[in-house]
């Protein structure tokens, strides 16, 4: 098969975004407000890219939290914004991640990451979560000054690895991310974690692979590669 390098999204695909929910429960009285914040964060990151603007993801994350506070009539202070960044850079791996990555690594599958988050000093969020060692390289959209799903983000990976983009498969818990990768010429694997689902609409690129978790995706991938 053409796609033989897996490119993993990080936030929510590998790292557990639900660990942010207590902050939103404390501020807004509802942990589900985390989902609304994250949707705003993605919306405005994409709006900035379309407008030719760029700011680091963490800065935008704090701004969208303050914006939500304004619309909800909730006071969001500097300590709350700082706590959000702390939580974002200290998320644990999702429960299914280490078993799935271990199987893939032992099978010799090449794996890298691509995230909207900017690079950080060591220990990185991936190192803190204990999963950095599974990947041969880590890429950030900060290098191109654009957010996913802009095609340049996925081209960054193919150019850095010196491979054709068709050899990449983007693995993400976000359909907009797999759509972007497929639009750039890669394939896409959609992980339908809680809070994420297919979009039933004409004209939407269907993911090459769909799985409820990374373990099920690893089963699919290894079987299709003829690895048991």
168-189 confidence digits (pLDDT tens): 999 999 999 999 999 999 999 9
Are 99 and 216 in contact by the 8 Å Cβ rule? The answer is no
The average pLDDT across 79-103 equals: 97
Higher pLDDT among residues 173 and 194, named by residue: 173
Q: How many CA atoms does the CB half-sphere of 65 hold within 13 Å? A: 27
Residue the block writes with tokens 């929910």: 21
In the numeric block, which tokens belong to residue 224?
A: 């299709």
Are 101 and 214 in contact by the 8 Å Cβ rule? The answer is yes
Question: Is the pLDDT score of 1 beyond 50?
Answer: no
User: What pLDDT was estimated at residue 228?
Assistant: 62
User: What pLDDT was estimated at residue 2?
Assistant: 45
Percent of the chain with pLDDT over 90: 93
Compute φ and ψ for 73, nearest 5 degrees: 70, 30
137-153 confidence digits (pLDDT tens): 999 999 999 999 999 99
User: What pLDDT was estimated at residue 197?
Assistant: 92
**Preceding peptide of 151 cis, ω within 30°:** no
114-130 confidence digits (pLDDT tens): 999 999 999 999 999 99
DSSP assignment of the chain equals: ----EEEE--BTTTB-GGGGHHHHHHHHS-TTHHHHHHHHHHHHHHHHHHTT----HHHHHHHHHHHHHHHHT----HHHHHHHHHHHTTPPBPTTHHHHHHHHHHTT-EEEEEESSPP-PSSPHHHHTT-GGG-SEEEEGGGTT--TTSHHHHHHHHHHHTS-GGGEEEEES-HHHHHHHHHHT-EEEEE--TT------TTPPPPSEEESSHHHHHHHHHHHTT--
The average pLDDT across 211-227 equals: 92
Question: Is the pLDDT score of 213 beyond 50?
Answer: yes
Full-model pTM: 0.96
37-58 confidence digits (pLDDT tens): 999 999 999 999 999 999 999 9
| Burial call 76-97: b when 16+ CB within 10 Å, e when fewer | beeebbebbeebbeebbbbebb
In the numeric block, which tokens belong to residue 34?
A: 């985390």
Name the least confident of 32-36, 51-55, 97-101, 223-227.
Answer: 223-227
Closest by alpha carbon to 65, among 115, 20, 5? 20
């Amino acid at each position: 098969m053409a796609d033989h390098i897996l490119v993993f999204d990080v936030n929510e695909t590998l790292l557990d975004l639900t660990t942010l929910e207590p902050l939103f429960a404390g501020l807004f009285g509802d942990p589900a407000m985390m989902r609304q914040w994250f949707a705003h964060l993605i919306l405005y990151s994409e709006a900035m890219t379309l407008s030719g603007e760029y700011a680091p993801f963490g800065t935008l994350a704090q701004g969208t939290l303050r914006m939500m506070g304004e619309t909800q009539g909730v006071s969001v202070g500097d300590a709350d914004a700082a706590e959000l960044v702390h939580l974002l850079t200290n998320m644990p791996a999702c429960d299914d991640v280490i078993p799935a990555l271990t199987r893939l690594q032992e099978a010799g599958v090449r794996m890298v990451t691509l995230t909207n988050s900017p690079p950080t000093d060591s220990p990185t969020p991936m190192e803190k979560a204990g999963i950095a060692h599974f990947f041969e390289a880590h890429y950030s959209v900060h290098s191109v000054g654009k957010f996913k799903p802009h095609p340049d983000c996925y081209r960054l990976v193919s150019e850095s690895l010196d491979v054709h983009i068709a050899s990449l498969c983007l693995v993400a818990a976000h359909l907009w991310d797999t759509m972007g990768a497929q639009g750039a010429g890669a394939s896409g694997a959609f992980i339908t974690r809680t809070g994420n689902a297919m979009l039933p609409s004409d004209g939407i690129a269907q993911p090459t692979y769909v799985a409820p978790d990374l373990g099920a995706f690893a089963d699919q991938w290894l079987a299709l590669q003829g690895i048991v």
